[in-house]
Amino acid sequence: MKKYAVIGNPVHHSLSPMIHAQFAEQFGLSISYEKILSPLGGFAKDSMDFIVSGGLGFNITLPYKVNAYEFCSKLTLNAEVAGAVNTIKVERNEIIGDNTDGIGLVNDFKNNLQQSFEGKEVLIIGAGGATQGILKPILDCNPEKILLANRTKEKSLKLSQKFSKYGKVCGFGLNQIKAKSVDIVINATSASLDGKMPEITGGVAQGAFCYDLMYGVETPFMKWAKENSASKVSDGLGMLVEQAASSFTFWHSKTPDTKEVIKLIRAKVD
């Protein structure tokens, strides 16, 4: 049986084992897929231990996507541009890193939510590894501009400069978000995992499509969006399944169907 896993901290909430089991069933593949809780500072050791034990690939979740980037011996273009890795495969003694977050997000918007980034003003909250993974794929969809807000202003400025060659990106601090509404607001922080909501003005959400990269019945960000008159609110469950589908293709060279899996996982979450 081929061994796969997801590594992160926390990781208990991960639905990836269930999703990949459904994908494998579509093709009659026999795989195992486990959750590995890696203590802070332990990512490289835990990853290597899994590889030595026969692991052929694994997903990486918060907070290790940048660590995973540094861990790889080879990178796909998506991972190289993002500077973050969420999927690793082991092939011919090479550790190859990819980033499927961005294509997962774009596919969820396009195929499941009937939303477009083209010509839109997009506010992304957070400037960590998750944001690094989604920036270029969103910019490839030709938005009017991306506003990148982070608690540490310097981090969002640095990231906006790095990606400015792909489109218009402006970086600033959370406290500089204006009350003026935008078209799309994306929460790319881990605040929802902690049951918190970043302190930002509610005016920015009025009439906007608000999307949380985290998933759950109602995350703090989703609650905030509804309270501030968002036009539509979604969690990131569709993105989770879509990025997993891209990971599955990266490992197995097979493209799974996602629609029924999203329905199944949604029923479990709700």
Residues of the chain with CATH 3.40.50.10860: 2-99+238-269
The first and second tokens of residue 126, run together, are: 């957070």
CATH topology of domain 102-235: Rossmann fold (3.40.50)
Please give the pLDDT value at position 193: 65
Q: How many CB atoms within 10 Å of residue 118?
A: 8
Q: What's the sign of the alpha-carbon dihedral 90, 94, 97, 100? A: negative
Residues of the chain with CATH 3.40.50.720: 102-235
- 65 as an active site residue: the answer is yes
> Which tens digits make up the pLDDT trace of 91-118?
999 999 999 999 999 999 999 999 999 9
> Which tens digits make up the pLDDT trace of 149-187?
999 999 999 999 999 999 999 999 999 999 899 999 999
Kindly report the average pLDDT of the chain as a whole number: 94
Q: Are 5 and 34 in contact (CB under 8 A)?
A: yes
Q: Are 134 and 243 in contact (CB under 8 A)?
A: no
Q: For 123-156, b where at least 16 C-beta lie within 10 A, e where not — what string?
A: bbbbbbbbbbbbbbbbbebebeebbbbbbebebb
- Distance, in Å, from the CA atom of 179 to the CA atom of 205, rounded to the nearest integer, reads 8
CATH topology of domain 2-99+238-269: Rossmann fold (3.40.50)
Q: 45 by DSSP, 3-state: which?
A: helix
* Phi, psi dihedrals of residue 28, rounded to the nearest 5°: 65, 30
Beta-bridge partner residues of 31 = 2
From the candidates 2, 65, 168, 223, give the one annotated as an active-site residue.
65
pTM score of the predicted model: 0.90
